[in-house]
Structure 1
């Protein structure tokens, strides 16, 4: 039995599509979908998830001949609306959230690592609470490529299971998350393992093409900044904000190595070891180090911490802007010959652009992603051998062909499958 047939048999049609019938215009039915995630906090990874989902929904809606009107639950609704050109409401004002859900055709929860208690106790109750409000409003819930866990407090586990059992569609971004859900009692037939949505994020379309495409199927123009590329693939620099490159960019032939770090250990020993690894790499191979902050503020500070230690050793490095638009950071990563990253989405961006990558693991989600490429993390925040990291990086820079032979086919499959949740959700609300 397919996932959709299973959910139909369990949930029935209820009021799916009623608003679509009411809002039918110009031969295209309109559906409103509320999106719940860690949006509006200017974390590049989570914003990339949102933009990827919006893009995938647009493409699936276009293929189905309907219009989707997204409503994003955001920490900064005004910024989200300006950035993406979609309706947004304050995620903490439950009255506004309830009204948005009541006037919708369903809730999309995800993607990202929403249901985990490693960073605090509030995340799991909040996101499950939003799903509960949607059910109270009689709306179906769709779980979109979430990463589940770690869930260290067993008290949360039955609540997660109940919410997912009652969902119309459930997808997770790795097999480990699916295993956790099965252990909690979610029927295996309900769970689909899919790639992270960002694997499907395009580097950017021509401005006119992108605006026209999204305006027609998302019920409004996507007016936020984006990268503009010509159909031949060259970048239209007039539409891209400055990336702060040095004047010697055109003359520097050293390979560009992107570095993504974040604060994790309170004693900063992990960042000290990362600095030692980068220093060792610079001693083995002429490189240009460019730090890529994926979370405005915190990652910039973590990058400066490592850069200061490198400067003390005579190794030069530069800091890229913390771009608000995910596609601008995607372009930053695409310019690299290698990406060494702690942030999960720095690694996903690299895979998206077929850039060789080395993962530094602070969380199982890092290990799970690199394993999908047939690789292993090159080190962790608890145990990192600077010489091993440096030699692994130097080997890739000397001859990246082996990395590509090992990983390119897995990357191709991940890109191909990244849009599956949107296609399933659009099929569900239409039928």
Structure 2
């Protein structure tokens, strides 16, 4: 089975998603082959077969029984029309080669009118498993049914040294962990203002860059605003979980900053720049802020550091696990 996504590009959120997907598939007797920007790093990090997402695509499809497109926010053309063209071309090629095709763990949109029309054509006859209600609704508006699942990062393995016993829902002595996103100046500015206010109150602070090449400058700006911020280095999903474990609260512009906080049972709030972030926060019953951020409300929230909504997170975790069962069954493998 061939898996297509934004893998091997140094985005720790996408790598966390893949870690959950690989673990779930192998536990169900399915051995994936991953299309990757950097196949060598993907093989080393996840212990799976991987090929170049361009030069290896056709040979891998020839050998594969099926293509799984996902997960992630692949099917949208607001940030990149070229990216959408790649993923749709991959879908069309697999269909032309009479391979089974499944879209799994994805969000849909936002689209330009042209992107929406192209995506609707490419998805004809394809089973869809989508990770938020808004995407399910968009698929319905295209005339397609879908299954609601959750991001497989919610079931990724915990790293060595981190066990459920180490994950209290309310950790008052830990730092507030901040996760900015490069290019989101207004939301990153709100994070910086929050960091400055919390530093003045003596609250310990840490920051994590989920895509180092894109986010390191934003982390540096947080440190300039609040020099007590500790930049926690992470280069793998396991290291990212370890960097976040023990936090009293997480405030993230990155979607997977929120998702991994949920995985750890830590309370979190999101600063939403995209419908996929807002969709997850709604499902997780977690606070959501959009620009312009109400700084006083955000500071008040973080001072109280409410725990994660356990009922909502438990439901999402079940959806992630059931989604992997659905994927295995759809691919024709015994779950």
TM-score (norm 2): 0.92
Residue aligning to 1:76: 38
Judged with a 3 Å threshold, the aligned counterparts in structure 2 of structure 1 residues 232 and 193 are, in CA distance, closer, same or farther, namely: closer
Judged with a 3 Å threshold, the aligned counterparts in structure 2 of structure 1 residues 234 and 365 are, in CA distance, closer, same or farther, namely: closer
Structure 1 residue 91, shift from structure 2 partner? 0.7
Residue aligning to 1:370: 281
Judged with a 3 Å threshold, the aligned counterparts in structure 2 of structure 1 residues 132 and 113 are, in CA distance, closer, same or farther, namely: same
Partner SS for 1:138? coil
Q: Is 1:88 aligned to 2:50, yes or no?
A: yes
Aligned residues: 329
Structure 1 residue 269, shift from structure 2 partner? 4.0
Question: Contact 2:187 / 2:253 at 8 angstroms: preserved in 1?
Answer: no
Partner SS for 2:81? coil
Residue aligning to 1:297: 213
Of residues 306, 309, 316, the one that matches 1:414 is 316
Residue aligning to 1:22: none
Of residues 306, 312, 319, the one that matches 2:231 is 319
Residue aligning to 1:354: 265
Residue aligning to 1:155: 114
Structure 1 residue 234, shift from structure 2 partner? 7.4
Of residues 178, 184, 189, the one that matches 2:136 is 178
Of the two, which has the highest radius of gyration?
1
Structure 1 residue 286, shift from structure 2 partner? 3.0
Q: CA RMSD in A?
A: 2.0
Residue aligning to 1:142: 102
Deviations, residues 221-278 of structure 1 (Å, cap 9, x unaligned): xxxxxx324989679xxxxxxxxxxxxxxxxx8431110001224xx34323321122
Of residues 2, 21, 30, the one that matches 1:53 is 21
Residue aligning to 1:217: none
Deviations, residues 314-366 of structure 1 (Å, cap 9, x unaligned): xx11101132x212211222221100100000000001111000111111222
Q: Which runs of 5+ in 1 are unaligned?
A: 1-32, 62-67, 204-226, 236-252
Whole-Å separation in 1 of the counterparts to 2:181 and 2:272: 11
Whole-Å separation in 2 of the counterparts to 1:348 and 1:359: 10
Question: Contact 1:295 / 1:322 at 8 angstroms: preserved in 2?
Answer: no
**Bigger mean CA offset, 415-424 vs 363-372:** 415-424
Whole-Å separation in 1 of the counterparts to 2:31 and 2:247: 36
Of residues 309, 314, 326, the one that matches 2:225 is 309
Whole-Å separation in 1 of the counterparts to 2:109 and 2:164: 42
Q: Which runs of 5+ in 2 are unaligned?
A: none
Question: Contact 2:74 / 2:83 at 8 angstroms: preserved in 1?
Answer: yes
Structure 1 residue 408, shift from structure 2 partner? 0.4
Structure 1 residue 78, shift from structure 2 partner? 1.2
Judged with a 3 Å threshold, the aligned counterparts in structure 2 of structure 1 residues 158 and 118 are, in CA distance, closer, same or farther, namely: closer
Of residues 173, 179, 196, the one that matches 1:279 is 196
Residue aligning to 1:337: 248
Of residues 367, 387, 390, the one that matches 2:299 is 390
Question: Contact 1:277 / 1:385 at 8 angstroms: preserved in 2?
Answer: no
Judged with a 3 Å threshold, the aligned counterparts in structure 2 of structure 1 residues 230 and 335 are, in CA distance, closer, same or farther, namely: closer
Q: Is 1:99 aligned to 2:59, yes or no?
A: yes
Judged with a 3 Å threshold, the aligned counterparts in structure 2 of structure 1 residues 35 and 161 are, in CA distance, closer, same or farther, namely: same
Question: Contact 2:162 / 2:242 at 8 angstroms: preserved in 1?
Answer: no
Residue aligning to 1:35: 3
TM-score (norm 1): 0.72
Judged with a 3 Å threshold, the aligned counterparts in structure 2 of structure 1 residues 138 and 322 are, in CA distance, closer, same or farther, namely: same
Question: Contact 2:150 / 2:323 at 8 angstroms: preserved in 1?
Answer: no
Judged with a 3 Å threshold, the aligned counterparts in structure 2 of structure 1 residues 254 and 412 are, in CA distance, closer, same or farther, namely: closer
Structure 1 residue 126, shift from structure 2 partner? 0.6
Deviations, residues 101-135 of structure 1 (Å, cap 9, x unaligned): 11111001000000111212111111011111111
